[in-house]
Amino acid sequence: MRNAGSHKRAQAETSTGTVVAAFGRHYEVDTADGRLRCYPRGKRSSFACGDEVDIAAAGDAQGVIEHLHPRRNLLWRSDAFREKLIASNLSHIGIVVATEPGFSDLLISRCIAAAESQDITAVIVLNKADLTDRLETARKQLAPFSALGYEVLEVSALDGATSLKASLSGHRSILVGQSGMGKSTLTNALVPEAEAATREISTALDTGKHTTTFARLYPLGEGWLIDSPGLQAFGLAHMTPDELVESFIEFRPHLGKCRFRDCRHEAEPDCAL
C-alpha cells in the first residue's frame, strides 16, 4: 500500500512544461511553477528544445521527463552514423549567413530542404550588412534563393537587428548557421539577457565555454527565439529521395510529369526534373 500511495503522489506532482534548453542528457524545462533541471527516464535522450513534456518532481528544482507531447514538427539533421535533434514546434527558421567570412550555398539549400519538409518557413538572414565592401558579392550569391521567393533580410547586430526582430515577432523561430556568421551576436542583440543565460549554464555544467554549445529558447516579444550551435554540415540522411525532391520548391511544378511513375530523377529518359 505504501508503494501505491507513493505512485499516486508522484502522479499528482506531474506537470507540463516546455524544454527551453537541451545539453546532452540535461534539460531545462519551464513550468507554471518555475524552471527545473530535468533528466530523461531511462537511457534514451530523445528530446529537443521546444518540446512540450510532462515531468515529475525529483528533488529540489529537479525533475524527470515522463512523457513527450506530440510535436507539430521537428528540425533535425543526420548522417550515416548519427542524428542530432535541433528543435521542435517551430514556425520559422532564420538561416544566418554573413558578408564575411564566405558561406556555403549547399548548407543553405540543405537547411531549407529540412525546413520545407517540416512546414517551417525559411528566412535567410544576411548578417554584417554594415561591411559594405562585400555586401554586393553576398547579395549576388543569395540572388537564386530570392528568385525562388525566400525572404532575405539584411541585418547588423550594430543596429539591434531591428528588421529581424520585426520579422520573427509573434513566432517560434530558430537561428541556424555556420560558425563565424555572428549568429550568437545577433541573438544577444535581439535578447540582451541571452549571453548571461549562456554563461550561467556553462558555469553550472563546468564546460568552460561561453559560446553556444547547446540549443536554448528565449522569449522574444510576443514570440520565442531558439539559438543553436554553429553548423559545419547539415546531413539529410533521414529523408527519403521522394521527401528530398518535394522539399525543393523549384521542383514542385514538375512533379508527376516524368515519363515513368517510378522515376528516380537521375538518368531516366524524359525526366521532368
Residue 146: CB atoms within 10 Å: 12
Cell of 177: 548557421
Q: How far apart are CA 59 and CA 63, in angstroms?
A: 7
Q: How far apart are CA 240 and CA 262, in angstroms?
A: 14
Sign of CA dihedral 227, 229, 234, 237: negative
Please, are residues 68 and 30 in contact by the beta-carbon 8 Å criterion?
no
Burial class (CB in 10 A: 0-12, 13-18, 19+), 273: middle
Please, are residues 50 and 35 in contact by the beta-carbon 8 Å criterion?
no
Burial class (CB in 10 A: 0-12, 13-18, 19+), 18: buried
Sign of CA dihedral 76, 49, 207, 176: positive
C-alpha Rg value of the chain to the nearest Å: 21
Domain 13-68: state its class.
mainly beta
- CA 16, chain centre distance (Å): 22
pLDDT along the chain (273 residues), means of 10: 46 81 88 88 84 89 91 89 89 94 90 94 94 91 96 87 88 91 87 62 43 77 88 84 83 74 75 73
Q: How far apart are CA 113 and CA 73, in angstroms?
A: 14
Q: What is the pLDDT of residue 72?
A: 96
Cell of 273: 526534373
First to last CA, the chain: 67
Size of the chain in residues: 273
Q: What is the pLDDT of residue 2?
A: 44
Whole-prediction pTM value? 0.84
**The CATH fold of domain 90-227:** Rossmann fold (3.40.50)
Please, are residues 71 and 88 in contact by the beta-carbon 8 Å criterion?
yes
Please, are residues 238 and 83 in contact by the beta-carbon 8 Å criterion?
yes
- CA 128, chain centre distance (Å): 21
Q: What is the pLDDT of residue 213?
A: 55
Which amino acid, 137? T
Q: How far apart are CA 203 and CA 210, in angstroms?
A: 8
Q: What is the pLDDT of residue 10?
A: 45
Sequence ranges of the domains in the chain: 13-68, 90-227
Please, are residues 19 and 50 in contact by the beta-carbon 8 Å criterion?
yes
Q: What is the pLDDT of residue 195?
A: 65
